Structures are given as structure tokens and as C-alpha cells.
Copies of this chain bind each other. A is one copy, B any other.
Amino acid sequence: MQALGRQILVEFYDCDREVLNNEALIREILIEGARRSRATVITDTFHSFSPHGVSGVVVIAESHVAIHTWPEHGYAAVDIFTCGETIDPWVIQKYLEERFRARNVSSMELKRGLFPERVPHKPVLEEASV
């Protein structure tokens, strides 16, 4: 079975609460993590909630990195969705773990879009199929 995408779901517990409530810093961390994995950043959008908490997404050419933080619980949910084999999503996970000072981390890797046959990473247009 071949997968079109791979996704890492990360639960960051016991993080630095000030970091998790700092929208500008979280944005910088996610973009820097994406760059370190050699992802191509296309755009990003971040939002702070009242009284606290930050949500954001960095859209990369290879898919996306999304985050939702609950600073009051020292918790952040992060999804790293990638396609192709040019970038290593675990580079992002490790970088975030370090910058969030997470003392308790649980990660799961999933394969998305499973097909029985070999599929190309950068698929070629099939005539009359699209």
C-alpha cells in the first residue's frame, strides 16, 4: 500500500504557558520549524483567543502545520500533515517540543490516502481523467 500523505498528531503537555499564549512567538516557532524541515512556506494565519489560547496554521507546499493551544493547561495540539518525501515532519515535531519546553509529549503518525498501487508523489495528469 502506498500513501499520498503522512500526518503526525502531537499532544504537547506540560509546556511553557507563556510561550503557548504568545501568538507572535508561536507563529515564529512554527515557521522556523517548517523551514528547518525544508518545507516551503506558502502562507500562514494565526489568531489569539480571549482570555487566552492561540490557533494557527502554516500552509506549506507539502501540506500544513496546525496548532491549537490551551495555555492554562500547558497543552498544545499540533498536526503536521505532509506529502512527498522531500521533508521530514519529525524535524518540526522535535523543534516544537524544544521551543515549547514540553515535558510530556505523545505523538502518533498516520498514513493518509492509501492506495494499493504505487502512486507518484507529484502525479502526472492523466488524459481526460481530471
A residues contacting B by CB (< 8 A) are 4-5, 7, 9, 11, 17-18, 21, 42-43, 45, 47, 49, 51-53, 55-57, 59, 61, 63-64, 66, 68, 70-73, 75, 77, 79, 81, 83, 110, 112-115, 119, 123-126, 129-130
What are 18 residue pairs bridging A and B, where the CB atoms are less than 8 Å apart in the complex?
A4-B70, A5-B68, A11-B112, A17-B129, A21-B130, A57-B57, A57-B64, A64-B68, A66-B66, A66-B81, A68-B81, A72-B123, A72-B129, A72-B130, A73-B115, A73-B119, A73-B123, A77-B113
A77 to B62, CA, bound (A): 13
A83 to B56, CA, bound (A): 14
